[in-house]
Amino acid sequence: MSQPIQLSFPMPKAPETSIHLHLTVNKISLLLFLTTALNGDTSAAPPLGSFVYALPDRMNAGQTLSTPLCVYESSVEFTTRLAKLLARKTGKPVYVGNSISFASAGMGGTVEEEMEGFKKVVEIVMEQVRQAEDNQK
């Protein structure tokens, strides 16, 4: 089992809010946890959020299968989309736990702000996965 990677980066359009990620890249799976926090504020515990399992469909490469293991209504859609995309891109089963809140974003969490955050998370996670896989060789 590889060592977990822990990173934080500013949320797009809300630099006072950080997205924190905890990623474990194993040979056969990924485990990712995400949350947000206002810079310097660790007093408020975020809700647990959603936890989703996704895996690539071996019969149809363009499809992924997913199931929510723990549902928190405000985060389950984002978590499912993220888990399915990462499973498709990596070809591995993926577990994603997510309690990101876009409420502190510039316009209060619009679809555009959520999509920018989604893209940034995918970009950073895929970069870390590539680095971890290169190091495992």
Distance CA 48, CA 56 (A): 26
Nearest-10 crossing angle of helices 111-136, 76-90 = 30
CB contact burial 8-38 (16+ within 10 A = b; e otherwise)? eeebbebeebbbbbebbbeeeebbbbbbbbe
Distance CA 3, CA 24 (A): 6
Whole-prediction pTM value?
A: 0.90
Express each pLDDT in 84-110 by its tens digit: 999 999 999 999 999 998 877 777 778
Express each pLDDT in 27-65 by its tens digit: 999 999 999 888 766 666 677 899 999 999 989 878 999
Residue 108: predicted pLDDT: 72
CB 16 within 8 A of CB 82: no
Which fold is adopted by the domain 5-136? Answer: Ribosomal Protein S5; domain 2 (3.30.230)
Burial of 109 (0-12, 13-18, 19+ CB in 10 A): middle
Closest CA to 94 of 121, 134, 59, 120: 121
* Helix and strand numbers, DSSP H then E, in the chain: 2, 6
